[in-house]
């Protein structure tokens, strides 16, 4: 099997797992069916998890295939930049600029912070 075929298969399998996980989160019922809260929660948790995975990948020198499966596949399918941007535009179109700006700030700053926390926190624990 060509290495590229294996890479595509791993990304596809991971993406399916991530997308199904993302859809499953909406059934938890914790946010009263508010799609904005679910999108923020999914994206922030995905950022935290990718930080944690990155620390493990660097510390244990995992193969590139594992990184493709988890980071590109699972987390790529789980997180949702497209829904985030659609939600932000929808809030602007509704005239809710304050909520739109807060939503964007929480997602962007929170995502960077969550990734940093996951990476640095895990690196500290692995020492």
In angstroms, the CA 49 to CA 70 distance is 10
Q: Is the per-residue pLDDT at 20 higher than 90?
A: yes
Instruction: Give the pTM.
Output: 0.90
Q: Is the per-residue pLDDT at 57 higher than 90?
A: yes
Tell me the chain's radius of gyration from C-alpha atoms.
16
Alpha carbon distances (Å) from 57 to 37, 64, 81, 116, 119: 30, 9, 24, 15, 10
CA 13 to chain CA mean position, Å:
16
Model confidence at 58, pLDDT cuts 50, 70, 90, reads very high
Q: Which of 58, 50, 43, 40 is nearest to 14 (CA)?
A: 50
């Amino acid at each position: 099997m060509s290495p590229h075929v294996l890479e595509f298969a791993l990304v596809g399998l991971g993406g399916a797992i991530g997308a199904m996980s993302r859809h499953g989160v909406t059934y938890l019922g914790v946010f009263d069916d508010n799609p904005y809260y679910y999108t923020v929660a999914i994206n922030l948790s995905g950022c935290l998890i990718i930080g944690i995975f990155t620390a493990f990948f660097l510390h244990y020198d995992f193969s590139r295939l594992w990184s493709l499966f988890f980071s590109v596949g699972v987390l790529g399918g789980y997180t949702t930049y497209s829904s985030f941007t659609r939600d932000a535009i929808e809030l602007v179109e509704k005239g809710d600029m304050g909520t739109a700006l807060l939503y964007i700030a929480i997602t962007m700053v929170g995502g960077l912070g969550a990734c940093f926390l996951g990476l640095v926190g895990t690196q500290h624990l692995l020492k």
